[in-house]
Structures are given as structure tokens and as C-alpha cells.
A and B are shown apart, each in its own frame.
Chain A
């Protein structure tokens, strides 16, 4: 509102240190797992007002540096518990989001997911389908249609992600869950902002999940960087260095450059046709080689041996 009224340099925290104001702000994050900037601002304003009723704050008084410094103070306290409040930009709406993220996934915190082991196994199958089956050299979809997700309710064959196999010492032959149960899991994942469902009915990872699983996804689905011919299934944006599950790719299939829509637009802005060269391979960028559900328009490999077709592609890709 009246930005002019506020001093240029604002006193960030009137009395230094960690106070109830920070604890209350942290409570808000424990209650709502993900919040947009516009949701964070009024909360921070309320907290500041509660702290000092003589100096009421409005959402308009809250500036980005203020949020950042408050979060820094909280994160300094949280880091020894392996929690962190991270921020990221939504790949679709470009809004800044904040979420309380658990940095490890040890046995203790798995409880927090509220799901039974069979349901966790189902979620792993969904992730595998998103980032392996539906994420090939030619089709980087990284999303699942509802029917595809339902088909995963019962496990088909041995799971592939190596890490899961090691971790899951409890490989009790998993009978899977029923389709209605799977639907419930999906709905509750959508409710807890872990998955999102697009207008075209695709399930994909929501920003919160990307923040929380960033490490896990790369560890699970990307080969270690120094191995021979590493298969890289998950790549970061050339602009903002965050994971891309919805964006565009370099028109050169062998090139590893990926962009978020917005990041590419701002990078290529003002450059005419013929001048939009990929920063890595110099190939002209047309902006229509998609990553995400828009890539599902690309024809799937020949229907006959889809599995083998995928493998062939991957071999080609690693040349």
C-alpha cells in the first residue's frame, strides 16, 4: 500500500534473536505445509502485530527481505533437526512458494507420511512410473494419467529403483492395494500438496514434493555423475537451477539443456528468430520441445515392444 511511508532500511527484528514471533511463524508452517508469498505475508504481519500490538503491521508492510531474514533465523535453529523452510517458484504459476521440508528420510520420519507400508510401496511405484516409464529420451512426460496411476495399484514386476530395493529390506512380497485404496492415496496426496492434478487430468509432483524430494529423486533416478554413460532422467533448469518437470527442452535431443517456460522466455527475450541459440549446443530453440504432460503428445514408441524400444532409445542417448 503506502510503500513510501516505510523507511528505506527497515529494522528487521526489533530485538535480536529467536523469539515467540519465530515460533509462531514456524507453527504456521507446521499447520500449512506449503504457502505462497501472498499467504505468508498476512501471517507474518499478524505475528509481528501480536508481538508488538502498539505497532500493527499489514500484509503490505511485509517485504521479501523481511520474510527472508525471518526464515533465516528460523532455519538456523531448524538445521540441526534436519528440517528447513525452503522456497521455490511454482513451475506453472511462477509464484514463490515456501514449505517446511524434511531433509532426510530416515525410518523415524517415514511415520509422518501417514501411510501404511503397502501404500508407501504404491507411492514408490507411482514415482517410478513418473520418472522412468513416463520419462524417456523422447518423451519426458514426468506425469501420470489417472488410469495409469490406477493400474499401478498392484505391483507388476520387481521394482527397479536400486535405492528402494536396498532400503526395503522388508521386501515382503507386496500384494499391493486395491484401486479404490489407490485413489484414496492419490486424493490425500493431492490434498497434502504432494501431488497436483492438472486440467488435463495428469498427476504430477507438486512444488512441495519437488522441494522435499529433490535429493531423493536425483539419487534414485539419475546415475551417479562419474559412472560411464550416466542416464540422467532428472535435470535442472538452465536458468534457475531448480528441477524441471514442466517446461521445455533443447531441440537437440542429445543436449541436456532444460528450461522452465518463464526462465526460457526471459533468457531468450528480445532475441529474434535465428538468434535463439541453446547456450550449450547452439541449436536453435523453438520452444515447442516440451517437458511435462505437454510432451505426452509425442507418439509413444512402437506399440509392439515398448519396453525394449525405451531401452534402445536410452542407449542411443548415451552415445
Chain B
């Protein structure tokens, strides 16, 4: 954190040598203080300019599945204008909605799963509920969420696999397996399930371990280590992006038409309730928004395009 000058005129008037030294590292600092009054309206430090920067930043992050971090926004977009965060954020979000049909949605806070984490969380309850991490989500009305418009990616020649699509399939499946297991799945059990799908040695994303590591990095799943054992739970991005609808639609598709629909729906709901009960057992998590479709990237996911909410 660079030392910030006190912006109050009163403090500046009694400029002491200490303050002088602090100014040296950024020569523009002086002008900055003078411009304070106009910078709300235009120029490089205006809310307007900064929110454009944030819009661009959000879109580029979404392309690489990188959550948008408050700290990164401060560093890469706001620079010396961090105190404008609130204004810039709400303006950028409004512009994203207006122009791109997307909005920034906050990810749920990382879960405390292990005994130690829970204890730590209880000890410092003051930390606040926000994760300060966001992802982009579409705000298109349902009538526009058609596979023909926002997915899936186009077919490639027979001998080529679309990695992106395979990845979407694999993480959706993994999240479904975790949900069915009650919100948490031991490593061995997940391994066995993946082996049955012939996804244990090699997947289009590389080895199984690499694939799981990538899912963890992107926030679809979280590996929880307690003592020697490793369990997987659903990660923040998984909750927001795949969510209940993604799971339900995957199950509906896998079971097909012949099944007794009512019975299937009941079972889906029961499974989700059990998983929710697990998820809520720790620090309460705001339930992920129901419409769980993230936009702006290759998303071969026809089954989720017909969200029924």
C-alpha cells in the first residue's frame, strides 16, 4: 500500500517535511489534490473513466475464469482513486447490465469445513460476510437464454475434442457427484466415480489430478484437507455458476424421459436439501442466486440454458 496523502486541505496547509517526503514518490500527487474537485466529472480519474476500466477488467477476468477481486480492482483499475470504489463499482455494474446484459455477482465466502477453520471463524466473527470476489453473470431474460444464442460451442472435426466443452462437462459432473454425496465427497469415492466414467487417467484437460487441480483453481470445487484425508466440496464459483439448476438439469438429462418425472423431481429436491444442510452447517452462506448462468465465455451447456426459474 503506498502511503496516501491526507486529502484534507486543513492537513495540507501545515505541510511538514514528513509530508513533503511522502509526496516525492508520485510527482502528480500535487495536481491530484488540486483536481480533487473536478475529478468527479471527467478526465482519467473520473468515475466514468474508471468504471469503463472496470467493465473491461471484468470481461477479461471472466474470459480466464479469474474471479474479480476487490484488491485487483484497486490495483489495476482504480490506482490512486481507491476511495471511489463504491461509486465506480455500482456504475460499472449498471453499465454491464445496460450494454452487455451481465452483472457482477459476489461469490459466497469460502466455507469453513474443518474443525480448525470453524473454530477460527467463530473466534473472529467480526470479519464480515462478504468475500470481495465477484463473477459475471448474465441478466438476459429467459426467453433469450437459448442454446442457439449463447451456447453450445460449435462442433469441431471428428478427431478433435473441444477442451472447453469437456471441461464444462467434467466439472458439472464432479459438482453433481459432490451434491449427491451430501455436499462433501471423500477423495477415494470421487476417484472411483471418475474411474467408472473412464476419466481417471486422462481427460481432455490432462491427467485426472490436473483436471481436479484446475477445477479447484477456478473455484468449482475445493479440496479440504483434514488430518490425512482429503474431501472435496463445491467451490464458490461452482455454487454460483452451476448451482441448483445446473445440478437438477444434469440429473434430468441423464435420467431421460422415461423416468417417473414427479418422483425424479422429488429426489432432486431431496438431494439438494441434504447438500444444502451440509453447506449451511458452517458459517451461513447466502444462497447462490438461482439463475446460474455465467456469460461471456464458451459455455457448452444446453441443458442449463432452459433454466426454469
Q: How far is the CB of A100 from chain B (nearest CB, A)?
A: 10
Query: Would you call B167 an interface residue if the criterion is a C-beta within 8 Å of the partner chain's C-beta atoms?
Result: no
Q: A20-B140, A24-B140 are in contact. Are A31 and B299 (CB under 8 A)?
A: yes
**Minimum CB distance partner of A39 in chain B:** B154
- Among A28, A53, A109, the residue within 8 A (CB) of B150 is A28
Assess the A78–B60 pair: CB atoms within 8 A: no
Query: Would you call A129 an interface residue if the criterion is a C-beta within 8 Å of the partner chain's C-beta atoms?
Result: no
Assess the B56–A27 pair: CB atoms within 8 A: no
Assess the A107–B76 pair: CB atoms within 8 A: yes
Assess the B100–A26 pair: CB atoms within 8 A: yes
Q: Complex formed: what's the CA distance from A78 to B56 in Å?
A: 11
Residue of B60, B156, B163 contacting most chain A CB atoms (<10 Å): B60
Q: Complex formed: what's the CA distance from A250 to B148 in Å?
A: 45
**Minimum CB distance partner of A190 in chain B:** B160
Query: Would you call B143 an interface residue if the criterion is a C-beta within 8 Å of the partner chain's C-beta atoms?
Result: yes
Assess the A111–B297 pair: CB atoms within 8 A: no
Query: Would you call A77 an interface residue if the criterion is a C-beta within 8 Å of the partner chain's C-beta atoms?
Result: yes
Assess the B101–A31 pair: CB atoms within 8 A: no
Q: A46-B148, A108-B76 are in contact. Are A114 and B64 (CB under 8 A)?
A: yes
CB neighbours of B160 from chain A (8 A): 191
Query: Would you call A32 an interface residue if the criterion is a C-beta within 8 Å of the partner chain's C-beta atoms?
Result: yes
Q: Total interface residues on B, using CB and 8 Å?
A: 38
Q: Complex formed: what's the CA distance from A139 to B302 in Å?
A: 47
Assess the A82–B143 pair: CB atoms within 8 A: no
Query: Would you call A210 an interface residue if the criterion is a C-beta within 8 Å of the partner chain's C-beta atoms?
Result: no
Q: A46-B149, A81-B55, A109-B60 are in contact. Are A30 and B295 (CB under 8 A)?
A: yes
Q: Complex formed: what's the CA distance from A25 to B148 in Å?
A: 10
Interface residues on A, range: 20 to 34
**Minimum CB distance partner of B206 in chain A:** A184
0/1 string, A108-129, CB within 8 A of B gives 1: 1111101000000000000000
Q: Complex formed: what's the CA distance from A115 to B231 in Å?
A: 30
0/1 string, B37-72, CB within 8 A of A gives 1: 000000000000000110111011101101000000
Query: Would you call A42 an interface residue if the criterion is a C-beta within 8 Å of the partner chain's C-beta atoms?
Result: yes
Query: Would you call B296 an interface residue if the criterion is a C-beta within 8 Å of the partner chain's C-beta atoms?
Result: yes
CB neighbours of B156 from chain A (8 A): 191
Assess the B146–A50 pair: CB atoms within 8 A: yes
0/1 string, B65-104, CB within 8 A of A gives 1: 0100000000011000000000000000000001111000
A residues 78-94 in Cβ contact with B at 8 Å: 78, 80-82
CB neighbours of B149 from chain A (8 A): 24-25, 27-28, 43, 46-47, 50
Query: Would you call B141 an interface residue if the criterion is a C-beta within 8 Å of the partner chain's C-beta atoms?
Result: yes
Assess the B148–A111 pair: CB atoms within 8 A: no
CB neighbours of A27 from chain B (8 A): 100-101, 138, 140, 144, 149-150, 295-296
- Among A32, A50, A78, the residue within 8 A (CB) of B144 is A50
- Using a CB–CB cutoff of 8 Å, the interface residues on chain B facing chain A are 52-53, 55-57, 59-61, 63-64, 66, 76-77, 98-101, 138, 140-141, 143-144, 146, 148-151, 153-154, 156, 160, 162-163, 295-299
Q: Would you list the 8 A-B pairs with minimal beta carbon distance, nearest first? A: A23-B101, A112-B60, A24-B144, A112-B63, A46-B148, A30-B296, A111-B60, A50-B143
